[in-house]
Amino acid sequence: MSCQPGMACSLERPLPWGLGVFLVVILGASILSSVRFESPVKVFLAGEIATQDITADQNLRFEDREATLRKREQVAENQPPVFDLSPESYEYLRKHASDVLLQAKRTDDDPEKVRASLSEDLNSEISRETIQIWRSQEFLDLMALQVMPWMKEAYAKGVAGHPGIFASYKQGILLRELPSGMETLYLEAPVTLDLEKLKDDLDQLLRRDLKKNIRVRKAVFALIGPFLRPNLVFNQETTRLRKQEIVVAMEPVYSNIYKGEMVVRQGERVTPEQQTKLQTLYAHRTSSLKPFAIPGTFLLACLFFVLLHLSQGKKSGIRAVSHRDWLALALVTAFFVLLAKFVELARVSDAHLPAFLKSSQVAFGLPIAGAAGVLAMFLPQALCSFAVLLLSYLVTNEVGGNVHLFSYYLLGGFVYATIIRNCETRQDVLRSILPLSALCVVSWFGVVLVQDGAGELTLAGGVHAAFNSVFSLLLVLGLSPVLEMVFGYTSRFKLMELMSLEQPLLQDLMVNAPGTYHHSIIVANMVEAAARAVGANALLAKVAALYHDIGKLKNPQYFIENQFGKENKHNKLSPSMSALILISHVKKGVELAKEHKLGDEIAALIGQHHGMTLITYFYHKAQEQAEAKGEEPVREDEFRYPGPKPQSKEAGIIMLADAIEASSRTLVDPTPSRIKGHIQSIVRKLYNEGELDGSELTLKDLTQASDTFHRILTGIFHHRIEYPNMERGKEKPKENGEKLALPEKGALPEKAA
């Protein structure tokens, strides 16, 4: 569903149907991985005599429940209790004391009734003499200026219900201030008051410091005594939840079973620990078909989607991945899962196959790095990382590998994906076999050292690891053109071809719209430099910038950079028609990009390079005409580009560079300081209008991009020396680079686009 300008989309982007195909492939891989041909394990109970030797056939890790329980009890016991320090007790005291004083000041009622009412409220006999003291201005000043501020300070430190409240907590306490929730850990009991100590200290304040007589002191305690209550309270529920959370978060205590370990010998009495190990081996036994492994493998594989979803940032998670990306992932995943299963079945079968296929080290020859290299040429980095993780997991599962083999695949995939992503030419791809070979051999050697591998198999494993790099390179060279052709991807090498100025579209732009061509060249250079500065895809951004205005080929004469001093065609058009022509160049640019097969990435960036900005000049002109004719105000939506707003760093940088380069032509005497101020105003305007909200550009990125734009534009508008006239008295000709002042960026009738 697409959103109209100015409207909010209430529906989320639907999941791509290609994801369903990919999930079907994952389910098929889960089914294949559940097929095993290994002997079962026999279990003996504690106290029984083992009738045979039992040797572990795999490395396992199991939970020691008794040790885990002891550890959790210890951790829960050491969790400090939570005490709440609340301001409500003081507020309760202040409010009720104020209410009592207000009630005592009532002189229109019967004094005896007032006394009786106050005694009832305070649950204490109040004398008329006390009420008279309460009514005195001296007492009111004492309460307002001395007693209540002292009480507020005392309550701020904490008042406990009774002394020794912290004595039983040797592990310290957590003091939580309400309502801020700020917590402070005290390893020793904090210095606080209890209610009795609070009263004693208050009495000392009145007696010794303020020199008040006993009548006044009794009046003070009669007033505030009934409302004194602790504000430092043990929070039993929060303490229980904290203990529960830390117990849940605590890692269980594990023990290990190692492959080849003699768990129990024949004729030996089985111990409880041996029984636990046998039960663990039995629970993880391998058979011809493990039905529970199918949903387990599928579930674990699907959990990788959580990582993908989180890595997409402000985008729509897995919804942001297109159909073709899921289909490409499904194709590559299916190919490698089938290849891994074929290799594993060939290794354990009785068929007469070459020795290298029967080796237990053949798994090191599976070219997972090649799959990562192919995907790195077309997929975003987050999606490619997800694919490498998932492929490493699935292939390791298919061949019955362990965490060391998984690490081998994962390391090779991540490194080779990075190498391929940085390759500029196909020659660079060929040279990538050298670092990949070194990586495969070194990582294989590390796995052998960790596993204490068999000596006679190390040479075979090294050969497989070396051939892994060869197979990976062949896959990149052979499979990448197929994916590029079938799914319409735009590889880095295709971008290099599109960047050639001999491309037909660029040639057409140079001939029919030379002003736009010159503008695109400058914008492309600005975009490339800025993209490198902020860590975006510089090549993609530069190529998209070269083609971002190809839609102007349809009506080049309606844009000022192509008029060369001729009559402005917009003078004969209504503002709405002019705006429609300007807006249409984005749609026509996308159509031309698809027609000339520039790739979906280029087409998307062309469609986003104006976002939903307003064509200010024609909008204000239309408003003025409507006011002059007494018509209704024009709609702003009719003068906005349809969007969408930039959805990537590359699109955001292109929008900024396009706006800054076009509007910089309006500068008179473009000194470096004026250029810098102009750049900052354009960036600030687009940022404040929300055009960059979806571009993932941070404030640091905007600052770096602005500095890059300033450096380039300063070089373009640099000052030249004044050459002496050939003849005296003749007027100095104008410099070729001199420009006329034009309206600001949004107000340009021809180059608002």
| Residue range 494-553, pLDDT digits in tens | 888 888 888 888 888 888 888 888 888 999 999 999 999 998 888 889 999 999 888 888
Residue 741 confidence class, pLDDT cut points 50, 70, 90: very low
pLDDT for the residue numbered 65: 77
Residue 262 has pLDDT above 90, yes or no: no
pLDDT tens for 119-143 read 887 888 888 888 888 888 888 888 8
pLDDT of residue 724: 58
Compute the distance between CA of residue 69 and CA of residue 72 in angstroms, rounded to an integer.
5
Does the structure show a pLDDT above 70 at 719? no
**Class of residue 120 by CB neighbours under 10 A (exposed 0-12, middle 13-18, buried 19+):** exposed
* CA–CA gap between residue 255 and residue 273 (Å, rounded): 10
| Residue whose tokens read 């190809």 | 550
Of these ranges, 176-190, 294-308, 309-323, 331-345, the one predicted with the greatest mean pLDDT is 331-345
Give Rg (Cα) of the chain: 39
Predicted confidence band of residue 570 (pLDDT cuts 50, 70, 90): confident
* pLDDT the model gives residue 154: 86
Range 676-700 average pLDDT:
91
pTM of the model: 0.53
- Tokens representing 524 are 């492309």
Segment holding 174, helix H or strand E = strand 173-177
If you average pLDDT over residues 411-420, what whole number do you get? 89
CA separation (Å) from 100 to 120, 137, 152, 202?
Answer: 11, 15, 18, 20
Q: Strands across the sheet with 183-186, in order?
A: 183-186, 173-177, 82-85, 232-234
Q: Taking each helix axis from N to C terminus, what angle separates 214-224 and 88-104, rounded to the nearest 10 degrees?
A: 120
Band of pLDDT at residue 283, cut at 50, 70 and 90: confident
What are the tens digits of pLDDT across the range 609-634?
Answer: 898 988 888 888 888 887 777 777 78
Structure tokens at 355: 């020795």
Amino acid 36: pLDDT: 65
φ, ψ dihedrals at 234, nearest 5°: -70, 125
Residue 4 has pLDDT above 70, yes or no: no
Contacts 24+ apart (CB under 8 A), 225-228: 225/124, 225/199, 226/96, 226/122, 226/123, 226/124, 227/92, 227/93, 227/96, 227/97, 228/93, 228/195, 228/198, 228/199
Pick the range with the lowest mean pLDDT from 119-123, 276-280, 720-724.
720-724
User: Does position 656 have pLDDT exceeding 90, yes or no?
Assistant: yes
Q: What is the mean pLDDT of residues 398-407?
A: 84
Q: Is the pLDDT of residue 307 over 80?
A: no
Half-sphere exposure of residue 7: CA atoms within 13 angstroms, side-chain side = 9
The answer, yes or no, to whether residue 152 has pLDDT greater than 70, is yes
Mean pLDDT of the 313-336 span: 75
pLDDT, average across residues 225-234? 86
Q: Which residue has the higher pLDDT, 730 or 699?
A: 699
CA-to-CA distance for 82 and 80, rounded, in angstroms? Answer: 7
Q: Residue 180, exposed/middle/buried by CB under 10 A (0-12, 13-18, 19+)?
A: exposed
Question: pLDDT digit string (tens) for 54-100?
Answer: 888 778 887 777 778 888 888 877 888 888 888 888 888 889 888 88
- Angstrom distance (rounded) from CA 85 to CA 178: 6
Between 418 and 667, the more confident residue is: 418
Q: What is the DSSP string of 285-318?
A: ---S--TTHHHHHHHHHHHHHHHHHHHTTTS-GG
Q: Assess whether pLDDT exceeds 70 at residue 366.
A: yes
Of the CA atoms within 13 Å of residue 253, those in its CB half-sphere come to 11
pLDDT of the residue at 749: 37
| Most confident of the following: 294-298, 479-483, 560-564, 649-653 | 649-653
User: In whole angstroms, how far apart are CA 288 and each of 31, 36, 240, 348, 396?
Assistant: 12, 4, 47, 12, 18
Counting residues of the chain whose pLDDT is more than 70, the rounded percentage is: 86
Tokens 């975006």 correspond to 536
CA–CA gap between residue 416 and residue 422 (Å, rounded) = 10
Answer whether residue 319 shows pLDDT above 70: no
**Residue, of 577 and 312, whose pLDDT is higher:** 577
Does residue 750 surpass a pLDDT of 70?
no
Over residues 348-356, mean pLDDT:
55
- Residue 707 — very low, low, confident or very high, per pLDDT cuts 50/70/90? very high
Rounded Cα distance between 606 and 545, Å, is: 8
Section 481-485 average pLDDT = 82
Average pLDDT over residues 731-736: 41
Residue 184 DSSP class = E
Mean residue pLDDT across the chain:
80
Tell me what pLDDT residue 61 has: 81
Under a CB-based contact definition with an 8 Å cutoff, are residues 79 and 239 in contact? yes
* pLDDT given at position 608: 92
User: Where is pLDDT greater, at 215 or 289?
Assistant: 215
pLDDT at 748 over 50: no
- At residue 728 the predicted structure's pLDDT band, cuts being 50, 70 and 90, is very low
pLDDT grade for 242, boundaries at 50, 70 and 90: confident
- Is residue 162 pLDDT above 90, yes or no? no
Listed residue (329, 330, 322, 332) closest to 479, CA to CA: 332
pLDDT for position 3: 41
